[in-house]
Amino acid sequence: MLIYTLKRLLQAIPTLLIVITISFFLMRVAPGGPFDGERQLPPEIEANLMAAYHLDEPLPMQYLRYMGNLLQGDFGPSFKYKDFTVTELIAQGFPVSLEIGGLAILLALIVGLPLGIAAALKRNSTVDYVVMGTALTGIAVPNFVLAPIFALVFGVLLGWLPAGGWNGGALPNLVLPVVALSIQQIAYIARMMRASMIEVLGSHFIRTARAKGLSESEVIWRHAIRPALLPVMSYLGPAIAGIVTGSVVIEQIFGIPGIGRYFVQGALNRDYTLVMGTVVFYGILIVVMNLIVDLLYSALDPQIRYDD
Amino acid sequence: MTQSLLEIDKLSVTFQLPTGPVTAVKDVSFTIAEGETLALVGESGSGKSVTSTAAMRLLPELAETTGAIRFNGENLLEVTPKRMRRVRGNDISMIFQEPMTSLNPLHRIGRQIGEVLEKHKQLKGRENRERVLALLEQVGIPEPERRIDSYPYELSGGQRQRVMIAMALACEPKLLIADEPTTALDVTVQAQILDLLKSLQAQYGMAILFITHDLSIVRHFADSVCVMRYGEVVETGRTLEVFDDPKHDYTRMLLDAIPRGRKEPAPADAPVLLSGRDVKVRFSLKKRLFGKDDYFEAVRGIDLSVRRGETLGIVGESGSGKSTLGRALLRLLQSTGDIRFEQSDLQALDKSGMRPLRSRLQVVFQDPFGSLSPRMTVGEVISEGLKVHHPEMNRRQRDAEVVKALEEVALDPAMRNRYPHEFSGGQRQRIAIARALILKPELLLLDEPTSALDRSVQVRVIDLLRDLQKKHGLTYLFISHDLSVVRALSDHVLVMKEGQVIEQGPSEALFTQPREPYTQALLKAAFLEEETVAA
Amino acid sequence: MTSDSKPYSGEQANAAPLPAGGPNPPRSPEPETSAQAAPAGESLARDAWRRLSQNRAAMASLGLLVAIILVCIVGPWLLPWGLAEVDWNAFGTGPTLENAHYLGTDANGRDLLTRVLYGGRISLSVALVASFVSLLIGVLYGAISGYLGGRVDNLMMRFVDIMYSLPFMFLVILLMVVFGRNIFLIYAAIGAVEWLDMARIVRGQTLALKRREYIEAAHALGVRDSKIVTRHLIPNAIGPVIIYVTLTVPKVILLESFLSFLGLGVQEPLTSWGVLISEGVDMMESSPWMLLVPSAFLAMTLFCLNFLGDGLRDALDPKTR
């Protein structure tokens, strides 16, 4: 188990290297430097600045230096938020994003799984049609449409909940962003759970369980749910990536100070170091989440061997 | 006569499908006495499994059941679901055809067996575990102390079926329903499982409802027999009476559907057509990016030769490497060693060098559903080889050849514009034979050509193969696990196990005086019926 | 073959010409149609189409989709307003029948319907081009990897695995930031993201098909590799590919709208549904139609594509065959 985890971590290294390398060189070919724009700097000051940020060194040196700093958790200075390093900005934003994202994935599972199971058990009934119809709508309406409509209806028109802002993470401020972020994943998870549940219910070992004289609820709880969860578990990786991506717009729409917002602001302001830092950070995050999902999966399925 | 334990009375089952109702079982009646074994016999689609599943009330909801199923006088079709659950696994239990998928892959086998005891006998904890251990011991699982904590994937097919049996016997039921319990297993394992069931029956005194398509098992195993066709019972009676004096034409036909006769030997001076020396095939199991791959030797150095007009039977259980050997001989797989077809050294030829020979070396595969491309019409399938080997032919000439080939395999040529999915298994196999024959080959590799077919269809396909061999002077490489078929068709037989030849020799000699214990075990397991037929 | 405990699986559902239940009446020769002039059989494609056309939801979606596409192509020529044409008499008016602003105007007095239709052209063209790019790369990559097998396959799939774990969305955004917003870049970038799944599916198909006995039989007949690929592999792998394409198209549309929404998509004077939605969000309180109209077009298109994909899967899935 431990060896498997280490192995997976080792395998993640090339992925991260690629992310870092691509972002590093993309940044360097980007037109314009970090210090042009606002006002023309005298050449000697610009040269000093370039030297201070080591931008006068040859590219390979800069690359190695950046890698070295990264290893120490240093993403470099932000070009636009002059008083902050990228690391500081990420450290500020991440807890906020994590809270929103974590709650959203939790909500997606708590709502999506039972809906899928219910639809599968009542296959071809009204319940099934309603759940699956709603799920399809959930997939068809993107979160960046849903979020503003939520904000408009529940925030502005009805005035039940704040239409935006963070307010230190107060519960009312959380509801709309979390719901908007999770709806699409709820829909996907419900659909997958239904499909895999139907498949499991038709399998031979469920017939065996019934032939043993188990009641329908024992058959479902003891024998059907766990195997049906397996394919949904393997979808969790992409689901988390989807939530992370979605959080970028959601934070933008609701004005939440998470890393998603820094990312978008950075992209629009051409704050290269900030964008690159967030991309690398997201890369690490997704790789780590995938690893966790895989470990969870192997805990559910005894047939996974750790030596592969 | 003993009191009847299970009485099926005018049972009918109708499935309400979106396309309309389909009656799978119609007015079926039979009884089983305590301790008796009744075999329910029929070919695929006869409704035998539906009948037995109905007895447990395990059919899907869209099935409508009428009639009565009386167990100890109680009509199971009328009892509450709760009462029915007390019966399942406790009074009546069931084992299935699919040992590989009938156990929950995520639970340890000890828990799966223990669950029944907990449900019906309220046995918990230590007591439960001890009883499970005793059961595992009884069904012949080695090292039960260790195996009790295994997951199903760690067991072989035969062992899984033993676990299923342990589960079924846990509550000492009065009736065991065994639905083709040995069909998916190798013959030697099959014999062991049947022996086990017999000895356990003697021990527990339970009745067995045994569903099978295999008459050779019935004769040795069942007290009485009930023959089904198209959802109806055509004949029932004591096994010996039915076998000795079948009343119904269909029963007679089933009993006759055993490949009979022996092949006329090829002339002794016929030249050798195909020979192999030290043929080896290995597959890489795990590919490594760097370094050496792990290999598995499927065929470990085999010598053989077939003379023109002969049939060489290659026999073995699953995983013995027999199919791999066949494919290697036709250069469908990479191999090492020497392979000669007449004078040509096949190993020395490249793809295009091989091509002219391809029309002389043809092949028919096992799976009648997988061996025809589903997107081509039958005519296109059959004529594909002509396009390769006779590019000079125009469409009309090719069509004429297709008609001839279809007539030769006794199919209506008018069907050549249809697609494979519109044909039955036996018909597809005939199409596959036509595809090979149209090239006028000299050697035909037959890889389990009849294994996927019902017995009655099987016999007709074998007759066809035999006629074709006589008519065209064909040479056959006949691969099969079915010894009765091999015996009826072959001059020479090669017995394979784990990639090696265990024994070989002229067919008659090998079947009457096998030397190796493995061959003897194979014959004993397979030829249950032969001894009695001969008697 | 099929276990007879489930008579509803497969055979009866489909094989109309055969008598239900027992395809092999014994004694008599196997069932054969009477000898008339060769009747044409039903090909799988036609069979699938027949089943799809029985699926009312899928057919309705197909109809609506075709309508949306036609309106987007033809509509802008029929409407009196141009894409960037400003009506000085109508700033931010709601939907009305007067002035021919059927769905209202935006804050700059530009006709919303006209803009939505032009935006639809862009969104749909991105969907088309990017899906095609992903199809092309994915099918080629997957088929080569699966057909060659062995070490090459191993390496090629390792590469796909690594690509998979990249935070692609973010790299695309980075790309847009660095190279500026450009519609061709969007085509290429989205196509390059979406080919991974396609490659995996096609590879899986190829591997499975390679082991099919009819492919082996074709080898035994001496059919050339190139013919095996074109005559046997591709026609039989096409079902899952079609299903997957119908799933890719909505994903691509969504991705483009997402980028546009963030302000990283197409640039003025061009517009797309994502851009319009993003503009609509800003004006949501005063002119809600600016959000609702493009959102409705986008959602409707995605909805139809998903329904159609579901229908196609049911019609083509070998499991229901």
Identify the CATH number of the domain in which residue C183 sits.
1.10.3720.10
Q: How confident is the model at residue A220 (pLDDT cuts 50, 70, 90)?
A: very high
Which residues in chain B land under pLDDT 70? 1-3, 285-293, 527-535
| Average pLDDT of the segment spanning A110-133 | 88
Which pLDDT score, from 0 to 100, does residue B468 have?
A: 92
The pairing of strands B63-71 and B37-41 is unpaired
Q: How far is the alpha carbon of B295 from chain C, nearest alpha carbon, in Å?
A: 13
Helix C234-261 to helix C168-179 angle (10° resolution) is 60
Nearest by Cα to B420 from B385, B463, B382: B382
C200 and C159 in contact (C-beta within 8 Å)?
A: no
Which pLDDT score, from 0 to 100, does residue B132 have?
A: 93
Mean pLDDT, all residues of chain C: 74
Q: Which amino acid is at B169?
A: L
Q: Per the CB < 8 Å rule, is B456 touching C24?
A: yes
Residue C37 covered by a domain: no
Q: Which amino acid is at B55?
A: A
Q: Which amino acid is at C215?
A: I
Q: How far is the alpha carbon of C270 from chain A, nearest alpha carbon, in Å?
A: 19
Domain that holds residue C141: 54-320
B89 touches A at CB < 8 Å: yes
Angle at A126 between CA A124 and CA A128, to 5 degrees: 55
pLDDT tops 60 at residue C5 = no
Residue C11 covered by a domain: no
C165 and A237 in contact (C-beta within 8 Å)?
A: no
Q: How far apart are CA A88 and CA B71, in angstroms?
A: 76
Residue C2 covered by a domain: no
Helix A171-201 to helix A225-254 angle (10° resolution) is 150
B523 and B483 in contact (C-beta within 8 Å)?
A: yes
pLDDT tops 50 at residue A172 = yes
The pairing of strands B475-480 and B311-315 is parallel
A205 touches B at CB < 8 Å: yes
C54 touches B at CB < 8 Å: no
Residue C28 covered by a domain: no
Q: Report how far apart, in Å, the C-alpha atoms of B363 and of each of A289, B370, B403, B473 are.
A: 51, 14, 20, 16
C152 touches B at CB < 8 Å: no
| Average pLDDT of the segment spanning C301-313 | 84
pTM: 0.80
Q: How far apart are the first and last CA of chain C?
A: 15
E-state strands within B308-381: 311-315, 336-341, 344-345, 361-364
Instruction: Count up the domains in chain C and report the number.
Output: 1
Residue to substitute from B106, B165, B289, B294, interface A, most A β-carbons within 10 A: B106
Which pLDDT score, from 0 to 100, does residue C40 have?
A: 61
Q: How many CB atoms lie within 10 A of CB C28?
A: 8
Q: Per the CB < 8 Å rule, is C220 touching B363?
A: yes
| Average pLDDT of the segment spanning C79-88 | 70
Which residues 184-203 of A have a C-beta within 8 angstroms of C?
none
Peptide bond before C269: cis, by omega within 30 degrees of 0? yes
Mean pLDDT comparison of A101-115, A118-132, A149-163, C290-304, highest-scoring range:
A101-115
Q: How many CA atoms lie within 13 A of B461 on its CB side?
A: 28
Closest Cβ–Cβ partner in A144, A152, A264 for C288: A152
Q: Per the CB < 8 Å rule, is A211 touching B153?
A: no
**Model ipTM value:** 0.79
Six-digit token pair at A41? Answer: 């700097």
Q: How far apart are CA B209 and CA B33, in angstroms?
A: 10
Residue C297 covered by a domain: yes
- Buried b / exposed e over A57-70, threshold 16 CB at 10 Å, is eeeeebbeebeeeb
Which residues 213-272 of A have a C-beta within 8 angstroms of C?
241, 244-245, 248-249, 252-253, 263-264, 267-268, 270, 272
Q: Report how far apart, in Å, the C-alpha atoms of C100 and of each of B454, C103, C106, C108 are.
A: 73, 9, 14, 16
B261 and B488 in contact (C-beta within 8 Å)?
A: yes
Q: How confident is the model at residue A246 (pLDDT cuts 50, 70, 90)?
A: confident
Which pLDDT score, from 0 to 100, does residue B289 have?
A: 52
Q: How far is the alpha carbon of C218 from chain B, nearest alpha carbon, in Å?
A: 8
Q: How far apart are CA B204 and CA A135, in angstroms?
A: 54
Residue C19 covered by a domain: no
Contacts of A212 in chain B (CB under 8 A): 88-89, 93, 115-116, 119, 167
Q: Per the CB < 8 Å rule, is B24 touching C21?
A: yes
Mean pLDDT, all residues of chain A: 81
| Average pLDDT of the segment spanning A30-42 | 60
Q: Per the CB < 8 Å rule, is B97 touching C3?
A: yes
| Average pLDDT of the segment spanning A147-161 | 83
| Average pLDDT of the segment spanning C95-101 | 66
Q: How confident is the model at residue A31 (pLDDT cuts 50, 70, 90)?
A: low
User: Which chains reach chain B with 3 or more Cβ–Cβ distances below 8 angstroms?
Assistant: A, C
- Buried b / exposed e over A9-28, threshold 16 CB at 10 Å, is eeebeebbebbbebbbebbe
B102 touches A at CB < 8 Å: yes
Nearest by Cα to A8 from A288, A300, A237: A288
The model's pLDDT over C186-243, given as tens digits with 9 standing for 90+, comes to 777 777 778 888 888 888 888 888 878 888 889 888 888 888 888 888 778 887 788 7
Q: How confident is the model at residue C80 (pLDDT cuts 50, 70, 90)?
A: confident
Q: How far is the alpha carbon of B449 from chain C, nearest alpha carbon, in Å?
A: 12
Q: How far is the alpha carbon of A275 from chain C, nearest alpha carbon, in Å?
A: 7
Q: How far apart are CA B325 and CA B478, in angstroms?
A: 11
The model's pLDDT over C256-286, given as tens digits with 9 standing for 90+, comes to 888 888 777 777 777 888 888 888 877 777 7
Closest Cβ–Cβ partner in B45, B98, B370 for C213: B370
Instruction: Indicate the length of chain C as a whole number.
Output: 321
B463 touches C at CB < 8 Å: no
pLDDT tops 60 at residue C320 = no
Q: How far apart are CA B326 and CA C110, in angstroms?
A: 75
Residue C16 covered by a domain: no
Residue C87 covered by a domain: yes
Q: How confident is the model at residue C92 (pLDDT cuts 50, 70, 90)?
A: low
